[in-house]
Structures are given as C-alpha cells and as structure tokens.
Amino acid sequence: MGVSRLWPALLALLILPVPGEPQEARIALPPGFTISVFASGFDRARFMAVDPRGTLLLSDPGAGKILALPDADRDGRADRVVEVVGGLSRPHGLAFQDGKLLVGDSDRVLRFTYDPVAMRASRPEVLIQGLPRGGNHPYKTVIVGPDRRLYVSVGSSCNVCEERDPRRAAIMRYNADGSGETLVATGVRNAVGIAFHPVTGKLWATINERDWRGDDVPPDYITEIVEGGFYGWPYCYVQGGKVHPDPEYTNPQACARTTLPTLEIQAHSAPIGLAFYTATQFPAEYRGNLFVAIQGSWNRSVPTGYKLVRVRMKDGRPQGIEDFGTGWLQGGRKYASLVDVVVGGDGSLYLSDQGGGVVYRISYSPAR
C-alpha cells in the first residue's frame, strides 16, 4: 500500500475524539470569537469555496464528491448537505470562473456548468488534462488569479527524490481555456494551499517540506511566490534564512539559485489551506490578515501544529505570526486534522477537518 493510500487510514487512528464531549468545547480563540460545528459526517473534508450566492462548497475526495452546505435560515449551521456532483476520482481544489465551477481532480481540472439555486453541477468539460497523478501527494489545487488565468499546484511524488516530470513539486499557470501551460514556481515540495493577496495581487502558498531529516529540520513555510522562483526541493532547504544542502541529494548549483521563503514556521507542522480575511465581520485589525490551517505533524517525536494561525499583514508583508485557534492538540492527543480555511459569505471563517469529517464556523460578536 502506497503512502498516499495509507495516510488517511493512519490519520483516522491518530484522531482521538472524547465520547460525549463536543470537539469545539476544547478550542481556545481570542475574546469575542466563537467556534461551532457548521456541518459534519463527511468521509474526508478537504478544500472549500464559496459559490456566487454565498453557499459553502466542500470537496470530499474520500467519497468522490463535491457537496454544498446551504444555511438558508442563517443560524450558523448547514441546513442540509446537497451533492453538487459525484463520481469523481479524487476531487480537491475548488474555484469559480465566470460562474462555472472548477474542480482539481486526480490528473485533471474539470469545469462544470453550475446552477447556484439548485446547487448542481452539470455538463463537465476537461479543461486541463494529463497532470501527474498518484504518489505521496495526489491532490490538485486550482484557483483563478486576478489576471483571470488558472493556477494549479501539484505536489511531489515522494518525500525526497529527483522527479522526471518537471510539473511535480511545482505551481503552474494556464490561460482561462486551459492552454498555455507555464511553470510559475518549482522546488516547492507540496504547495497544497495557494491564494492571491487581495491588494497586491501576489501569489502566496503554503509549503510542506520534507520528512525524516529531524524533528526541527527543515522548516515548513508560508511564502509569497516569486515568478520563476526555485525553492530548493529536493537539493536543499532554507532554515534561519540560510540555504542548507540536503544530506542525500546534493546540487550546489541548485542551492545557489534557491529563492528564500517569506515566512519559516515549525518543521513538520504542515500548513495547508490559507485565506486572506477580506470581510467586515471581524474587527478592523483582522482585515487583510492571513489565516492558515496547520494540519499537524505525523512523524515528529513531539507532535506539533493542529491549530489555526493568524499572520498579521501590513502593506502586503507579514508582520508576525500567532496562534488564533488552539486546543486540537492536548497532552500529545490529537483531536483534528485541519485542512482548509475560507472566508464565508457571512464574513465568518470556515475550517475543514478531514480527521473528524467536520466543517467548523468561527464568528465574532463584540462584547456588550
């Protein structure tokens, strides 16, 4: 059994819910914020998007489905779960392009005609095909940039190796019709989350670095992507702002041209989904800040991660990083496997947990 198939099963064993205790009861947030379960019962809750009417959509690759989670009565909990489309291989990234639904599947990007009233997708067309499939990082993330072009991230097939396909461990750009494939960044081992800054228009990504180099080596990172940048994998990594060679795969020339990441974070913490806060529900100090879902380590001797973090931003640059939501890791016990975070149509944050099959809602109410 390959690592990509084995990991979800291992993850399920690592998540240890306490019978009778609501998961959200243990979560600590800043004053004024509350967390609640918005929807539950999913096989593997992964990436999310908000449709043109403000309804939250969720990819569930374990079930091969895209699901809609309407909240018509606006009580902070999904009224029902609607199957938008099923029968997919491994759906992951979701985006909207001129009202049509884009889905990153195993080796392709699909485009569907989407009815936001019925919450149904139909008439699929293959927009991009022949992407590398399988391996340790099989998921495909797709977003639409401010230039109206498509951006797709593809993870490495392995922990550390020399890939035959240059589209592995890379971020690509395509024209709106799926043509004109161009490499935007390489050497990004697993850029699961990608998003554009709402003001600068710059592309940002979360990078999961290599394993089995030590508990604190190398750092994962969150970075603004430099066009044409090479970020080191597999030949080197960056720690403390300095480039270090990998002990197994050496290439001094590659290390010499490695682009330094914007923000290093704890090794093996596994940053996944990211979202810039553009709504007005939260206090003004949060606007323009970056929220990142930290999935958590799986092979570190002392577990780390399992939280939601806030990156304070000013003029498009990070000013610091701090915990925003914690409590999913207590005394070495892991209670979630956080994946994605999005800003909902109501201004709340929505957070997916593939380990618990849950989508959380985080909202703010000022003290009276």
Task: Please report which residue ranges of the chain form alpha helices under DSSP H.
Answer: 3-14, 252-256
CA 163/CA 181 separation, integer angstroms: 18
Could you report the per-residue pLDDT of 268-304, keeping only the tens digit for each?
999 999 999 999 999 999 999 999 999 999 889 899 9
pTM over 0.85, yes/no? yes
Q: What is the mean pLDDT of the chain?
A: 94
- Cβ-defined contacts of 112-119 (< 8 Å, 24+): 112/85, 114/51, 114/84, 116/51, 116/52, 116/53, 116/55, 117/53, 119/51, 119/55, 119/68, 119/70, 119/82, 119/84
Give the residue with greater pLDDT, 223 vs 250. Answer: 223
Q: Is the pLDDT of residue 9 over 70?
A: no
Q: What is the Cα–Cα distance from 97 to 103, expressed in whole angstroms?
A: 11
Mean pLDDT across the stretch 50-76?
Answer: 98
Exposure letters 322-350 (e unless 16+ CB within 10 A, then b): eebbbbbbeeeebbbbbbbbbbbbbebbb
Query: What CA–CA distance (Å, rounded) separates 60 from 47?
Result: 8
**Bridge partner list, 110:** 103, 126
Q: Are strands 94-97 and 82-85 parallel, antiparallel or unpaired?
A: unpaired
CA dist 49 and 343 (Å) reads 9
How far apart CA 181 and CA 140 sit, in angstroms, is 15
User: Strands 236-239 and 242-245: what pairing?
Assistant: antiparallel
- Is the pLDDT reported for residue 16 higher than 50? no
Domains and CATH numbers, the chain: 29-364 (2.120.10.30)
pLDDT at residue 22, rounded to an integer: 57
Mark residue 179 as left, alpha or beta (left: phi above 0; alpha: psi -120 to 50; beta: remaining).
beta
